[in-house]
Structure 1
Amino acid sequence: MTAPLFKGVITALITPLRDGKVDEAAFDRLLERQIAAGVEGVVAMGTTGESASLTTAERLAVIERCVSVAAGRVRVLAGAGAAATDKVIDLVRHAKTVGADGALIVTPYYNRPSQAGLQAHFEAVAEAVQLPIVLYNVPGRTGCDLSNETTAALAAHPNIVGIKDATADMARVSWMHANIPGAADGRFALISGDDSSFLGYVAHGGVGVISVTSNVAPEAMVALQKALTAGDLASARSWQDRLISLHKALFLDNSPSPAKYALAKLGLCTEEIRLPLVVTRDEVKPILDAAMVAAGAH
């Protein structure tokens, strides 16, 4: 069996802002906290990092800073999603140039390509740049769904090494585990993109999670992952019970607003977020407060 290149808890990092600009000092603190907690990787400039709202220059600078600060201590996935294939190729080339370990590429949003278009898109990127690619399927955000069959076809490409699956569909991960060559032996990583169903995802064949919750409670998420890896289902359930309220609370408002509120409460950054998103509603904050206490993040 081959160890997956990307596995375990991989934190989808928020991008801290202050006075309209990226707060570099806060970013460094947040990243160091993740590394100290034992996560195996981070995503810079994914959805949770507000990649859709930041300028291209800001996106590139955050990825470069993440690689520099991480300094090889954890794997860095660079968010490289865009609606146009040529732009994605440019983003992946930058990620390779600055030393990222791979690129996380979401299905092209808004223009809703066919399955043939999706396959051609990802294959064009994989051919253009020699950097490991993790596919990202989140149909609720993008308006298109990367089918199991298209995923299987793409998994045959040597540069495409896994998928972040945010569908929370357990039958789906079972199908991929059974039918995609490399999924069962570790070459093609099945990674959950949904914290709430992470435990079930691993039971069905997944090897990790790209997590929003681990921004706030990284130690607890790492403990859950370790219990799952050890086959200790009782401990895994116990950790999941502590975390489930936080998993849910972090999506009671548009993400990453709740995560930024939680991290601000911990004194790690401001709540500031880039329009068109706004800060978390007051009525959500007490729910988040209670969920943080339950998860031990307070």
Structure 2
Amino acid sequence: MTHSPDSAHPSRPFGRTLCAMVTPFTDAGTLDLDGARRLAARLVTDGCDGLVLNGTTGESPTTTDAEKSELIAAVREAVGERVRLVAGVGTADTLHTADLARAAEKAGADGVLVVSPYYSRPPQDALEAHFLEVADATGLPVMLYDIPGRTGTRIEPETLVRLAAHPSIVAVKDCSYDFLGAQKVLARTELAYYAGCDEHILALYAVGAAGCVSTVANVVPGHVAAILDAFDAGDTAIAARLQLRATPLIEAMTAAGLPGTVTAKALLTALGRPGGPVRAPLRSADRGTADGLRALHEELSTG
């Protein structure tokens, strides 16, 4: 199949097949900009029409503000204007988040990903005010990131409906594990939904999502794109088959006890691709885990 999504489609403001890209580091733990350029170029060649940088999978909690801007600029240099770059800017501090959004715009991002402030667990009115302030900080479109399992705070469906009235708030990365809630927002707004959990790529797409922000796409971008290609072509049985074939790798990378950052980097390293170590407090996967991931990757790639 060919990968030909229209990233300018009004219902796909950031493209269709987005990868939550890891941030490559050298063996010494410093930012590997050359590796980032090579990885980004490969992801785009193999099927991604959007990249999310400096997100959870990109180890945003342990990269500096300067490193975040450097990464955006380097990836933009590598991929040009072929794909949309969305920069994670979310922090627990509204003013800091707004500053990061402005820095991302200056560095060349096409949009910003804004997660709910974590740990402080703001109530819904404060959460809404936070997102509105960040949305007003730049001219970039905003993707809200709903992942209560990490932040401790849900962006409630009614809050999302209100936020959809802001002209810059155009999308949601959904890791809510509330499929009914997602459908309610899809039915009542023009927000573009992106599946943030790889096991939900096809399910959410089938009810009107714009696409996905995939961790597994770091290692199988073509397979992720093929799921959506098949659905777009009306081959729903093939799309389902492709989604199910990816399930063992999805489970091993995102639901087997290790963060997706750790598993993605372990598998990238095993495949000889840029990735490198993770930064503390995370720890790199052991050899047995890396070997198991590689076996699942080979099974998916050759099956």
TM-score by structure 1 length? 0.94
Instruction: Give the structure 2 partner of residue 280 of structure 1.
Output: 285
Q: Is the 8 A contact 1:243 1:294 kept in 2?
A: no
Q: Which runs of 4+ in 1 moved over 4 A?
A: none
Moved more, 283-292 or 43-52: 283-292
* Cα distance in 1 for residues equivalent to 2:302 and 2:94: 40
Q: Is the 8 A contact 1:163 1:190 kept in 2?
A: yes
Instruction: Give the structure 2 partner of residue 34 of structure 1.
Output: 43
Per the alignment, in what secondary structure is the counterpart of residue 118 of structure 1? helix
Per the alignment, in what secondary structure is the counterpart of residue 273 of structure 2? coil
**In the TM superposition, what whole-angstrom CA distance separates every residue of 1:89-129 from its partner, at most 9, and x where no partner exists?**
11111111122110011111111100001100011111222
TM-score by structure 2 length? 0.92
Percent identical among aligned pairs is 37
Aligned length: 292
1:57 maps onto 2:57 in alignment: no
* Cα distance in 1 for residues equivalent to 2:106 and 2:276: 32
Instruction: Give the structure 2 partner of residue 185 of structure 1.
Output: none
Instruction: Give the structure 2 partner of residue 119 of structure 1.
Output: 128
Of residues 5, 20, 25, the one that matches 1:12 is: 20
Q: Is the 8 A contact 1:257 1:271 kept in 2?
A: no
Q: Is the 8 A contact 2:69 2:107 kept in 1?
A: no
Please report the RMSD computed on the Cα atoms of aligned residues, expressed in angstroms.
1.6
Q: Aligned AA for 1:259?
A: A
Aligned positions of 1:181-200 closer than 5 A: 182=190, 188-200=191-203
* Cα distance in 1 for residues equivalent to 2:302 and 2:174: 26
Cα distance 1:207–1:49, how it changes in 2: closer, same or farther (>3 A)?
A: same
Ranges in structure 1 where 5+ consecutive residues have no aligned partner: 183-187
* Cα distance in 2 for residues equivalent to 1:100 and 1:200: 29
* Cα distance in 1 for residues equivalent to 2:150 and 2:123: 16
Q: Is the 8 A contact 1:7 1:191 kept in 2?
A: no
**In the TM superposition, what whole-angstrom CA distance separates every residue of 1:194-223 from its partner, at most 9, and x where no partner exists?**
001111111222111000000000111111
Of residues 148, 167, 176, the one that matches 1:158 is: 167
* Cα distance in 2 for residues equivalent to 1:64 and 1:141: 28
Q: Aligned AA for 1:176?
A: V
Q: Aligned AA for 1:7?
A: G
* Cα distance in 2 for residues equivalent to 1:57 and 1:190: 30
Cα distance 1:191–1:85, how it changes in 2: closer, same or farther (>3 A)?
A: same
Q: Is the 8 A contact 1:20 1:274 kept in 2?
A: yes
Q: Is the 8 A contact 1:12 1:43 kept in 2?
A: yes
Per the alignment, in what secondary structure is the counterpart of residue 250 of structure 1? helix
